[in-house]
Amino acid sequence: MGHPGLLARQLSLVFNRAGARTGIGAARLTGLIAPTVATLLAGNKAPQFLPALAYGNRSVYGEEETDRFLRLREHMMTTTRPLALVTGASSGIGKEAALALVAAGFDVVGTSRDSSRVTPLDGVTFLDLDVARDASVTAAVQEVIERFGRIDVLVNNAGVGSLGAAEETSVAQAQAVFDTNVFGVMRMVNEVLPHMRAQGRGRIINISSVLGFTPQPYMAVYAASKHAIEGYSESLDHEVREHGVRALLVQPAYTRTGFEANSAKPDTPLHAYAKRRQTVDRLMAEAIRDGDAPAVVAKAIVAAATDAKPKLRYTAGPMAGRVSTLRRLVPARAFDKQIRKINRLAA
């Protein structure tokens, strides 16, 4: 029958290579082919298994087992569903993006800091991930590769908000925002990019904001984090194109999510800013309430993931498109006045 340990190592090698080539993943492939392996072992045909696996040899398998394997092999060779990894997929934009990518034909892995508390989504596999922790990022990406053998699209959606005047926000609080919104993106890119380069293809989609190219009083730290993502992503895109990889940006405007409720409040509030801050907070709450549905942003994410000739930047929804156009075309002085008027600041 052959040495069981050697056979196990051979099978493991076959499954890992086949999983990496087809996108099925070694674990899923093992489950699919296990009945055939059991039949072969029971029939004392293990020594001939590996060469027979390559050719579907009926003299070794017998008719039924050969037909089963040939069907499996056809499934393996025609299963080319790409794999999308979406961070922060438990709610809001990330949840809608995960569902939209499933509908677009992707296998999807979504992440949450505590996936045990996430409501299951059809077609989405959830993993624990904290983008602010190096070890968590490494473990999550490794698990995706081990289970699926590939990552074709990375959607860096996980993020945190921050409200309050710049002077009211301590450096420590600002560092915490950047650790998720900026360095979290960098951690994910650094872990995923080697796999994409090895594949010779891939797309990194970073969720920015209209606040990545416009100012927002009383949200200086958050706006700074999104401005950083804009510069990082555009620079990264130039570096990775020759490897078949693109780094792209999706820029939502105000979106109906729990952004305001989940945003950090200033840790050193000052009376000098209290009245204006409260006004801006109220305006922000109204803008989010009347904003785009998360599905609007998800549509832009799917476009970035699937367009044959992707754009560097995708504005999500009509408001984001208008703001982008105004930023490019309106003279700086006029744009400055409009910012102050919208936020009810003194002229």
Quick: pLDDT tens for 242-287: 999 999 999 999 999 988 778 999 999 999 999 999 999 999 999 9
Quick: pLDDT tens for 326-335: 999 999 999 9
Look up residue 48 and give its amino acid: Q
Which one from 90, 112, 225, 233 is the annotated catalytic residue? 90
State the pLDDT at residue 259.
87
- Full set of structural domains in the chain with CATH: 4-78 (no CATH), 83-342 (3.40.50.720)
Look up residue 178 and give its amino acid: F
Residue 200 pLDDT class (50, 70, 90 cuts): very high
Q: Is-catalytic flag, 299?
A: no
Which tops the pLDDT comparison, 226 or 52?
226
| Nearest Cα residue to 204 out of 238, 248, 243 | 248
State the pLDDT at residue 70.
55
Q: Over 50: is that where the pLDDT of 38 sits? A: no
Look up residue 310 and give its amino acid: P
Which one from 218, 226, 233, 299 is the annotated catalytic residue? 226
Q: pTM, whole model, 2 decimals?
A: 0.78
CA distance 207 to 211: 11
Share of the chain above pLDDT 90, in %: 75
Cα 131 to its chain centre, rounded Å, is 11
Which residues lie across from 202 on neighbouring strands?
Answer: 245
State the pLDDT at residue 79.
52
Q: Is-catalytic flag, 208?
A: yes
Which one from 61, 95, 112, 208 is the annotated catalytic residue? 208
CA distance 76 to 22: 6
Which one from 61, 222, 254, 314 is the annotated catalytic residue? 222
Classified as helix, coil or strand, 87 is coil
- Measured CA distances, 63 to 36, 56, 70 (Å): 12, 10, 10
**24-38, 162-176, 208-222: which has the minimum mean pLDDT?**
24-38
- Measured CA distances, 342 to 219, 224, 273 (Å): 14, 20, 17
**E-state strands within the chain:** 83-86, 107-112, 124-128, 153-156, 202-207, 245-252, 313-316
DSSP state of 288: H
State the pLDDT at residue 80.
73
Quick: pLDDT tens for 89-148: 999 999 999 999 999 999 999 999 999 999 999 999 999 999 999 999 999 999 999 999
Q: Is-catalytic flag, 115?
A: no
Q: Is-catalytic flag, 273?
A: no
